[in-house]
């Protein structure tokens, strides 16, 4: 944990999957293994559970022996409640000194036996949905370093995935890039972050400033977005994140199969062009040089043969690369950044 006010996790990890045998309920654990294999020593599944995240099966004592520091709950309990069998193993792990990390709705500290075990061993209980207690008010001051923020036409349109893919793309091409997490799964993948939507409203832009601190001139923070300026339930969170992140570039994430906004079924989805325009207009408050560098489209619901035409039409309309990161990766967006002189050794301040 740095001196910034963010949640920090201690690696390496043991991913707890318990009795959950469905990939669907184990998305968090699988994401951590997929994106940060170097952080994960193993998984802990109960005796007869065959779910395999692709890492070694381990007991708590195996994990301790290999140097694991934190047990991460990598699954969501079916029905939302956690049972005695889970608690028993979590208590065993906490007693042995492993930090316990959860992104679930219940709080680890609500279980007295877990609290006692952690306090005896000195282990930490980390609920990644709970933001740091003290956060500063945002000040809008320009910080050194570069920032790329994911924004969206709605919630749940691939902002986390795109940020992770974009970070990987930049790193593979020799750029200095860091993924910055703003939600619970992202925090487990990054090993640090702030769940910005759980912060008291007045402090959200300050949280975003903590999240992407001053850095080297050519370093890129790639920031996971939240919500959408076009989703009336959560747009305030998105605007605070936009102002606090002071992005040099934004990538708009979009799901063309959606007709109405997720939590506001009476609201139509905006066009990608509208989304770019409003985001740039608001982002200029803290970074007048902001540009839209690309569009990330979830094309999974498109009929075969349609996706290429859709992406190339959109790209022609907007004049920027439009990709599905899951299909063709983010290379085209990187090339756009090269053309603009933002990366590739000749980046300008």
Residues that bind a copy of itself (CB under 8 A): 137-142, 196-202, 204-206, 229-230, 232-241, 243-244, 261, 263-264, 266-267, 278, 281-282, 285-286
Nearer to a copy of itself, 84 or 266 (CB): 266
As given in the structure block, the two tokens for residue 292 are 């839209």
Which residues partner with 127 through β-bridges?
102
Which residues partner with 223 through β-bridges?
149, 180
Look up tokens 């062009």; give the residue: 273
Nearest Cα residue to 151 out of 31, 282, 307, 7? 282
β-pair type (322-323, 291-297): parallel
Nearer to a copy of itself, 78 or 200 (CB): 200
Supply the minimum distance, in Å, between the C-beta of residue 57 and a copy of itself: 37
Supply the minimum distance, in Å, between the C-beta of residue 2 and a copy of itself: 23
- Cβ-contact 98, 66 below 8 angstroms: no
As given in the structure block, the two tokens for residue 265 are 């079924």
Supply the minimum distance, in Å, between the C-beta of residue 250 and a copy of itself: 16
Category of 281 on φ-ψ map: left (φ > 0), alpha (ψ -120 to 50) or beta: alpha
Supply the minimum distance, in Å, between the C-beta of residue 120 and a copy of itself: 30
Supply the minimum distance, in Å, between the C-beta of residue 30 and a copy of itself: 26
Using DSSP, state whether 137 is helix, strand or coil: coil
Nearer to a copy of itself, 75 or 104 (CB): 104
Supply the minimum distance, in Å, between the C-beta of residue 237 and a copy of itself: 5
How far is 321 from 308, CA to CA, in rounded Å? 12
Q: Distance from CA of residue 45 to its chain's centroid?
A: 25
Supply the minimum distance, in Å, between the C-beta of residue 267 and a copy of itself: 5
How far is 241 from 262, CA to CA, in rounded Å? 20
Supply the minimum distance, in Å, between the C-beta of residue 315 and a copy of itself: 26
As given in the structure block, the two tokens for residue 96 are 């042995």
- Cβ-contact 105, 198 below 8 angstroms: no
- Cβ-contact 192, 132 below 8 angstroms: no
Nearer to a copy of itself, 205 or 218 (CB): 205
SS3 sequence of 202-233 = HHHHHHHHHHCCCCCCCCEEEECCCCCCCCCC
| DSSP secondary structure code for residue 109 in this structure | G
Nearer to a copy of itself, 142 or 304 (CB): 142
Supply the minimum distance, in Å, between the C-beta of residue 227 and a copy of itself: 8
Look up tokens 């986390």; give the residue: 160
Nearer to a copy of itself, 9 or 239 (CB): 239
Nearer to a copy of itself, 47 or 265 (CB): 265
Nearer to a copy of itself, 99 or 240 (CB): 240
- Cβ-contact 223, 141 below 8 angstroms: no
Nearer to a copy of itself, 43 or 262 (CB): 262
Using DSSP, state whether 304 is helix, strand or coil: coil
């Amino acid at each position: 944990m740095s001196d910034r006010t963010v949640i920090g996790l201690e690696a390496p990890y043991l991913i707890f999957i318990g009795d959950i045998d469905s990939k669907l309920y184990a998305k968090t654990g699988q994401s951590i293994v997929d994106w940060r294999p170097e952080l994960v020593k193993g998984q802990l599944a109960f005796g007869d559970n065959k779910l395999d995240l692709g890492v070694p099966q381990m007991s708590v004592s195996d994990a301790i022996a290999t140097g694991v520091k934190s047990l991460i709950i990598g699954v969501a309990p079916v029905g939302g409640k956690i049972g005695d069998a889970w608690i028993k193993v979590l208590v065993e792990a906490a007693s042995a000194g492993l930090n316990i990390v959860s992104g679930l709705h219940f709080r680890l500290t609500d279980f007295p036996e877990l609290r006692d075990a952690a306090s005896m061993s000195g282990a930490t209980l980390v609920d990644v949905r709970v933001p740091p207690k003290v956060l500063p008010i945002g000040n809008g001051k320009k910080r050194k370093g570069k920032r790329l923020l994911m924004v969206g036409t709605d919630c749940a349109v691939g902002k986390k995935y795109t940020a992770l893919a974009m970070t990987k793309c930049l790193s593979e091409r020799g750029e200095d890039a860091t993924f910055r997490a703003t939600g619970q799964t992202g925090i487990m993948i990054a090993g640090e972050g702030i769940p910005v939507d759980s912060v008291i409203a007045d402090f959200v832009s300050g949280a975003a400033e903590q999240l992407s601190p001053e850095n080297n001139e050519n370093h890129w923070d790639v920031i996971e977005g939240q919500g959408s300026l076009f989703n009336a339930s959560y747009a305030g969170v998105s605007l605070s994140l936009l102002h606090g992140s002071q992005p040099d570039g934004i990538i708009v994430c979009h799901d063309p199969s959606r007709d109405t906004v997720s939590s506001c079924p009476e609201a139509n989805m905006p066009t990608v062009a509208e989304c770019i325009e409003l985001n740039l207009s608001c982002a200029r408050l803290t970074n007048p040089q902001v540009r839209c560098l690309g569009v990330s489209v979830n094309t999974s619901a498109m009929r075969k043969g349609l996706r290429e035409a859709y992406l190339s039409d959109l790209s022609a309309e907007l004049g920027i690369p439009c990709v599905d990161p899951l299909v063709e990766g983010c290379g085209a967006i990187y090339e756009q950044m090269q053309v603009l002189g933002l990366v590739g050794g000749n980046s300008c301040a």
